[in-house]
Chain A
Amino acid sequence: MKLAAGFARLLATCGALALALLPHVTHLPAWVSATVIGAIVWRLAAEQRGWALPPRSLPATAAVMAALAVYAGYRTLNGLDAGTALLAVMAGLKLTETRAPRDHAVLVFIGYFLCLAALLYEQSFVRLAYALLVAWLLTAALARVHRPVEANTPVRPFRLAARMLGFGVPLAIVLFLFVPRIEGRFWAVPAPPSRHSTGIDDQMSPGDIAGLSQSDEPAFRVWFQGAMPAPELRYWRMLVLEDFDGRRWRRATSFADASQPDVVPAGAPYTYRIALEPTEREWLPGLDTVVDWPEAIAARGRGTQLVYVDRRILERRPVTNRLTYSLRSYPAAAVMPSSLPRDLTVRDLALPPGHAPRARAFAAGLRAAAGSDRAFIARVLGTFRQQPFSYTLEPAPLGADPVDDFLFRTREGFCEHYASAFAVLMRAGGVPARVVIGYQGGELNYYGDYLLVRQSSAHAWNEVWLTGSGWTRVDPTAAVAPERVRRGELTRELAGEEVPGRLYADFAWLRNIRSAWDAARTVWDDNIVSFDPRRQAGLLAALGLDAQGWQGLAIALAAGVMLASVALAAWLAWELRPRRRDALEAAWTTVCARLARAGLPREAAEGPVDFGRRVARWDPLLAAPVSRLVDAYVVARYLPGATAAERTRFLELARSFSRLLRPLGT
């Protein structure tokens, strides 16, 4: 069935637009997607059935209403989510009044923007490939609309668009490499809410980390210079929580003493590089205990700073893009072994008044029975080990006094329950204690030789201050579920529950594929997604250009654009080279060559008519076909205003004539 030209144009535009919208369907409000799909279906039907389109003023009114509806939904029109929703609605409304090529162009532009937004949401290779595919279809739709109807075959617009974009690739690469990047943002935009769910927050209440550990998303990747630490040393500190209100642990709000803590490095250091996935938060993970960062990285001035009071690592701005930084850690270092400042002693012994009376009494009893702080810690951990404490991702809900409830009633929970209860017991027994949250574990990727730490490795543990050795890490979860620490993540399997993702663990080859995929993704992220001013400078230096000022970039950009222009000119010259032999002449030459092989070569000065007569005399069987052929050739070649049908007729005759000659010639 041949489509009407108007319908074909509309179908091309609508199809490309629908594909551009597809990546957004998951996060757009349902009414937005429904509006667009409905508009597409209605407009196509209207074209097919010849329904009247609404007057121009109606969609304009509807557009204002839709903008208000989007504003009501998001409380803003700024930012990615609201902007995408607004674009999608506008596309739907524009569609209802789409008549002229200009209307199609607006739709195509909206489609381009939707592709761009899809990339702002996710920077994966697959996403880029998809966006490019859709951009190709959109461009083809634009070409179809802007060319005369009779100039378009079904395929021609697609080929035009493919050429246009394909031959733009060299220049696009040049621009990508040498257009200067800027640090920071021109204006503040609300972060996509989808990102808030991943990453560690600066407070902890029961259930927070359990929720996080359901996520299979990568948190960060680590490359080590030299040896990797053993699995039980892979504690990635992020934040220290010291203020406790009975249920929730929070970051200390004031630092009375911001002096540099007394860190005594000991044992072998580990030097490593971390590539952190965006967290929208300022704090960064580092292997316990971070001592410093190698000079080369400090000189880069990335803005990373250690906050010494609780040894957090902070970035100046929330991490909105993938961030790479290098650190050096001493797992055996001692922190503040000599003395603890007075205000810290007070803070790290504080308990909310009237809270957890049973736990306090229990701790006091244990402390009295134990001779020392260390023996006290051992007894508390022994309690966790010997009493029927169990590990589960879905513990029974806790009552008004969560610590007592957990310790003496439910006795089931997750790392945060144990860390919280342990810190309370320690403080009740007079040992300064605090909660540390971060990640524990990391799986080795053989293909990329790095450790991948997933969100499911999120963990909470404790630090207690002991005279002589300072802040010491204690992981009460290890007492209950040693496997948790050894394997580096708490899985449902470990907790003795149903495992939906069991396949991954059970089949080595599946694990391998997953590793290879992650390694490929890492190479992509490292080289494309995190291409930044620093890498740009490195590239310029490799080209022997001044990497500091703007001149180097300007020279590289100008030279690159010139090279790309030369390449394009060469391609155009080749593609549009003069074609002297047209199809008619080529077909005629083929026929003559066949006849020559059969024993009747054409004389140099012999025209087609004379030659045809000679062929007819030579073999009377050929007389009729050759006269038809010569007539068609003369008409197609020499008759002014010969039609395409006449040309085609000759080409067909030439083909069948050549077939006729085959048995003759051999």
Chain B
Amino acid sequence: MSVPAVAAGRWSALKRAAGERFVAWARRRHGPDQGAVTITRGRVYILPTYLGFGYGAMLFAMLIAGLNYGNNLALAFTFLLASGGWVAMHQCHRNLAGLTIAPAGTRAPYAGEAAEFAFALSAPYSREDLVLRAEDRRAAAVSVPGGDAATARVQVPTVRRGRVHLSRLRIESTFPLGLFVAWTWTHPELDCLVYPRPAPRDRQGPPPATEAGAARDGRARGEEDFEGLRGFRTGDPPRRIAWKAWARGGELVVKEFVGAAHTPVIFDLADAPGADLEARLERLARWVVDAEERGDRYGLRLEQAEVPPGAGLTHRNRCLAQLATFRLPADAS
């Protein structure tokens, strides 16, 4: 490695270390954050961007030229541009100060996909071009109308099932010209579940229904005979929605069928093939997802823990959550 490369490496390491210390210092200053956080002026940091430094250098050159030629109009022009930059700096700072940011839920991914943390941004006056960053992931810029709220979603990459933790969120803005960047950190300390990635489909399929879950309820919903329509409830599979009725301008309704009663299936960890625990959990995840898509009733048994049979997205997510957190290794969070 050449000497400059070593120097550059040391320099970037030094910069990173200084950045970390600054973040730690800011965190001590801000105190713990819980729920909705309003960003006070004291929490907003602002620096020129590279473009801003370029703008400053340009203004300096203009000032020298104006003084050298003793040209008052050139000086006036330079001063106006400088004042414009100064106004932009204030606008940039104001764009962040007074913003309220609150966690607005998470969307759990399958391992390997990105977890999504949603935040509700609200402010008494309008804000523009706010960018949320988590661990070098940049969310799309959002604008907040005055007296209103907007939602920003920031994504965090995941590797394995379990939980992904968001300890630090950076909110920044280069509004209006990109000459300055104002930013702050919040420490929302949020968790998002990461479901096991469903194993690839194979020919074997899940084991047949077991007796343990065979208690039939009186009106088990099947798929053979159309019985009627009822209002949509969260968790109803999309394929049962009466799309035609909806397209005619009606409400969202779901077709109900009466048919050969299904025997609820209980997926047991013991039945799942696989090399290790992770592979078996992934197999179970595949069964759960497929069963839900088919509209079956299913349950889950993981050693002592058991999810009684049911159907619907809520039920599916409950099962997947069990799979995500089952015997989590200590370092997986």
Determine whether the beta carbon of A167 is less than 8 Å from that of B87: yes
Q: When each residue 154-180 of chain A gets 1 if its CB lies under 8 Å from chain B and 0 otherwise, what string results?
A: 000000100111011111100110010
Determine whether the beta carbon of B143 is less than 8 Å from that of A151: yes
Determine whether the beta carbon of A120 is less than 8 Å from that of B140: no
Q: When each residue 122-165 of chain B gets 1 if its CB lies under 8 Å from chain A and 0 otherwise, what string results?
A: 00111011000000000011010111100100000000000000
Determine whether the beta carbon of B147 is less than 8 Å from that of A576: no
Question: How distant is the Cα of A471 from the Cα of B148 in the complex, in angstroms?
Answer: 88
Q: Which residues of B contact A131 (CB under 8 A)?
A: 73, 77
Determine whether the beta carbon of B80 is less than 8 Å from that of A135: yes
Does B79 interact with chain A (Cβ within 8 Å)?
yes
Question: How distant is the Cα of A308 from the Cα of B69 in the complex, in angstroms?
Answer: 31
Which of A66-74, A110-118, A369-377 lines the interface with chain B?
A110-118
Does B94 interact with chain A (Cβ within 8 Å)?
yes
Q: How far is the CB of A190 from chain B (nearest CB, A)?
A: 12
Can you give 22 contacting A-B residue pairs, CB < 8 Å? Answer: A116-B77, A119-B71, A119-B77, A120-B71, A128-B77, A143-B176, A146-B178, A148-B140, A151-B128, A164-B87, A165-B81, A168-B83, A169-B80, A171-B79, A171-B82, A171-B83, A172-B79, A182-B67, A189-B69, A572-B90, A572-B91, A576-B125
Does A127 interact with chain B (Cβ within 8 Å)?
yes
Determine whether the beta carbon of B83 is less than 8 Å from that of A172: yes
Q: Which residues of B contact A509 (CB under 8 A)?
A: none
Q: How far is the CB of A642 from chain B (nearest CB, A)?
A: 10
For B63, the closest partner residue in chain A by CB is: A179
Q: Give me the 3 closest cross-chain CB pairs, A-B, nearest first.
A: A168-B83, A146-B178, A578-B124
Determine whether the beta carbon of B80 is less than 8 Å from that of A321: no
Determine whether the beta carbon of A576 is less than 8 Å from that of B83: no
Does B76 interact with chain A (Cβ within 8 Å)?
yes
Q: When each residue 564-588 of chain A gets 1 if its CB lies under 8 Å from chain B and 0 otherwise, what string results?
A: 1000110010001111111000000
What is the number of residues of chain B that contact chain A, defined by CB distance less than 8 Å?
52
Does A431 interact with chain B (Cβ within 8 Å)?
no
Q: How far is the CB of B126 from chain A (nearest CB, A)?
A: 8
Question: How distant is the Cα of A321 from the Cα of B177 in the complex, in angstroms?
Answer: 35
Q: Which residues of A contact B74 (CB under 8 A)?
A: 116, 119-120
The verdict on A135 contacting B86 (CB below 8 Å), with A109-B55, A160-B176, A529-B73 known, is no
Does B66 interact with chain A (Cβ within 8 Å)?
yes
Q: How far is the CB of B61 from chain A (nearest CB, A)?
A: 8
Determine whether the beta carbon of B68 is less than 8 Å from that of A109: no
The verdict on A578 contacting B58 (CB below 8 Å), with A132-B80, A175-B83 known, is no
Chain A residues numbered 135-150 whose CB sits less than 8 Å from any CB in chain B: 135, 139, 142-143, 145-148
Question: How distant is the Cα of A190 from the Cα of B265 in the complex, in angstroms?
Answer: 92
Question: How distant is the Cα of A115 from the Cα of B147 in the complex, in angstroms?
Answer: 41
Which residue of A101, A102, A171 is within 8 Å of B86 (Cβ)? Answer: A171
**What secondary structure prevails in chain A residues at the interface with B?**
helix
Does A336 interact with chain B (Cβ within 8 Å)?
no
Does B235 interact with chain A (Cβ within 8 Å)?
no
Which residues of B are interface residues toward A (Cβ below 8 A)?
51, 54-55, 58, 61-62, 64-88, 90-91, 94, 124-126, 128-129, 140-141, 143, 145-148, 151, 174-178
Q: When each residue 171-205 of chain A gets 1 if its CB lies under 8 Å from chain B and 0 otherwise, what string results?
A: 11001100101110111010000000000000000
Q: How far is the CB of B255 from chain A (nearest CB, A)?
A: 25
Q: Which residues of B contact A643 (CB under 8 A)?
A: none
Question: How distant is the Cα of A529 from the Cα of B178 in the complex, in angstroms?
Answer: 33
For A185, the closest partner residue in chain B by CB is: B68
Q: When each residue 387-413 of chain A gets 1 if its CB lies under 8 Å from chain B and 0 otherwise, what string results?
A: 000000000000000000000000000
Q: Which residues of B contact A128 (CB under 8 A)?
A: 73, 76-77
Question: How distant is the Cα of A577 from the Cα of B94 in the complex, in angstroms?
Answer: 12
Q: Which residues of A contact B85 (CB under 8 A)?
A: 168
The verdict on A127 contacting B73 (CB below 8 Å), with A147-B176, A186-B67, A578-B146 known, is yes
The verdict on A135 contacting B75 (CB below 8 Å), with A189-B68, A572-B90, A580-B147 known, is no
Determine whether the beta carbon of A163 is less than 8 Å from that of B129: no
Q: Which residues of B contact A531 (CB under 8 A)?
A: 72
**What secondary structure prevails in chain B residues at the interface with A?**
helix
Q: How far is the CB of B180 from chain A (nearest CB, A)?
A: 11
Does A641 interact with chain B (Cβ within 8 Å)?
yes
Determine whether the beta carbon of B64 is less than 8 Å from that of A582: no
Question: How distant is the Cα of A223 from the Cα of B65 in the complex, in angstroms?
Answer: 32
Determine whether the beta carbon of A116 is less than 8 Å from that of B62: yes
For A110, the closest partner residue in chain B by CB is: B58
What is the number of residues of chain A that contact chain B, defined by CB distance less than 8 Å?
63
Does A589 interact with chain B (Cβ within 8 Å)?
no
The verdict on A116 contacting B129 (CB below 8 Å), with A181-B70, A528-B73, A582-B148 known, is no
Q: How far is the CB of A587 from chain B (nearest CB, A)?
A: 14
Q: Which residues of B contact A187 (CB under 8 A)?
A: 68
For B59, the closest partner residue in chain A by CB is: A112
Does A123 interact with chain B (Cβ within 8 Å)?
yes
The verdict on A168 contacting B129 (CB below 8 Å), with A120-B69, A146-B174, A146-B177 known, is no
Q: Which residues of A contact B51 (CB under 8 A)?
A: 102, 105, 146
The verdict on A112 contacting B151 (CB below 8 Å), with A101-B178, A105-B51, A143-B177 known, is no
Question: How distant is the Cα of A179 from the Cα of B145 in the complex, in angstroms?
Answer: 40
Question: How distant is the Cα of A146 from the Cα of B49 in the complex, in angstroms?
Answer: 12
Does A320 interact with chain B (Cβ within 8 Å)?
yes
Q: Which residues of B contact A163 (CB under 8 A)?
A: 87, 91
Q: Which residues of A contact B72 (CB under 8 A)?
A: 123, 176, 528-531
Determine whether the beta carbon of A148 is less than 8 Å from that of B129: yes
Residue among B54, B81, B82 with most chain A CB within 10 A: B81
Determine whether the beta carbon of A169 is less than 8 Å from that of B125: no
Determine whether the beta carbon of A113 is less than 8 Å from that of B62: yes
Determine whether the beta carbon of A568 is less than 8 Å from that of B87: yes
The verdict on A175 contacting B82 (CB below 8 Å), with A119-B71, A131-B77, A164-B91 known, is yes
Which residue of A123, A168, A186, A320 is within 8 Å of B73 (Cβ)? Answer: A123
Q: Which residues of A contact B84 (CB under 8 A)?
A: 139, 164-165, 168
Q: How far is the CB of B124 from chain A (nearest CB, A)?
A: 4
For B175, the closest partner residue in chain A by CB is: A147
Question: How distant is the Cα of A113 from the Cα of B61 in the complex, in angstroms?
Answer: 9
Question: How distant is the Cα of A569 from the Cα of B145 in the complex, in angstroms?
Answer: 21
Q: How far is the CB of B151 from chain A (nearest CB, A)?
A: 7
Q: Which residues of A contact B54 (CB under 8 A)?
A: 105, 109
Q: Which residues of B contact A529 (CB under 8 A)?
A: 72-73
Q: Which residues of A contact B69 (CB under 8 A)?
A: 120, 185, 189, 320-321
Q: How far is the CB of B149 from chain A (nearest CB, A)?
A: 10
Question: How distant is the Cα of A176 from the Cα of B75 in the complex, in angstroms?
Answer: 7
Q: Which residues of A contact B128 (CB under 8 A)?
A: 147, 151
Q: Which residues of A contact B129 (CB under 8 A)?
A: 147-148, 151
Q: Which residues of B contact A105 (CB under 8 A)?
A: 51, 54, 178
Question: How distant is the Cα of A528 from the Cα of B75 in the complex, in angstroms?
Answer: 11
